[in-house]
Amino acid sequence: MILRGITSATLHHHRHRPLPPTSASFSVSDADLAGRGFTLHRDATSLDLARLNSIFVSVGFPRRDPEKIRLALDHSDALLWLHDSRSDLPVAFARATGDGVFNAIIWDVVVDPSFQGIGLGKAMVERLVDDLLRKGITNIALYSEPRVLGFYRPLGFVADPAGIRGMVYSRKNKNKRRN
């Protein structure tokens, strides 16, 4: 009984526990990012959600209700974003949801179009994966559009490992079958 209580309390606080120090080496160091005017954040309290929404829209993601984005970020297991000091705006973002123990799925990896191609996307995904691994979460998945497979492969992601295929619930197909 006591053991169960301790266990559930420990798990309950898992999401917000400080991370152990990293031993990973990244393609761009935190110091390099800072030297280029980019500040790394791991919580969303000072993130301008309207601006984040605009970045989503500028890369073709749907515009979403900022209240719902805030809730989704509150329920994420890990998130990262970069603030650009020159424009005083967020310019890159990535997050992961999951059970906080075994599994995580990466979502919303996005770099402002005028900041793409300078290593920021790679810097974000490297750190997001490392944050998850440091939490002990080792089953890390994501959905990739075909044109972005080449971005994720060098970061350690493989498509259809051992023939395992992802399946997504599709209301459209379900309705089709019913009709």
Ligand X SMILES: CC(C)(COP(=O)(O)OP(=O)(O)OC[C@H]1O[C@@H](n2cnc3c(N)ncnc32)[C@H](O)[C@@H]1OP(=O)(O)O)[C@@H](O)C(=O)NCCC(=O)NCCS
Catalytically annotated residues: 152
Q: Does 122 bind ligand X (CB under 6 A)?
A: yes
Q: Which neighbouring-strand residues pair with 82?
A: 40, 92
Candidates 54, 119, 130, 157; binder of ligand X (CB under 6 A) is 119
Q: Is residue 121 within the footprint of ligand X (CB under 6 A)?
A: yes
Of the two residues 44 and 128, which places its CB atom closer to ligand X in the complex?
128
- Taking the CA atoms of 157, 48, 21 and 137 in sequence, report the sign of the dihedral they define: negative
Out of 69, 120, 129, 132, the only residue in the binding site for ligand X (CB under 6 A) is 120
Among residues 5, 21, 62, 117, the one that binds ligand X under rule CB under 6 A: 117
Question: For ligand X, which residue of 57, 71, 148, 159 counts as binding (CB under 6 A)?
Answer: 148
CA distance 5 to 77: 22
Give least dist CB 56 to ligand X, A: 9
Q: Are strands 139-142 and 103-111 parallel, antiparallel or unpaired?
A: parallel
Of residues 3 through 42, those in contact with ligand X by CB under 6 A are none
Instruction: Find out whether 12 and 101 touch, Cβ atoms under 8 Å.
Output: no
Spatial strand order in the sheet of 103-111 = 38-41, 78-84, 89-98, 103-111, 139-142
Q: Could you list the residues that contact ligand X (CB under 6 A)?
A: 59, 109-111, 116-122, 144-145, 147-148, 150-151
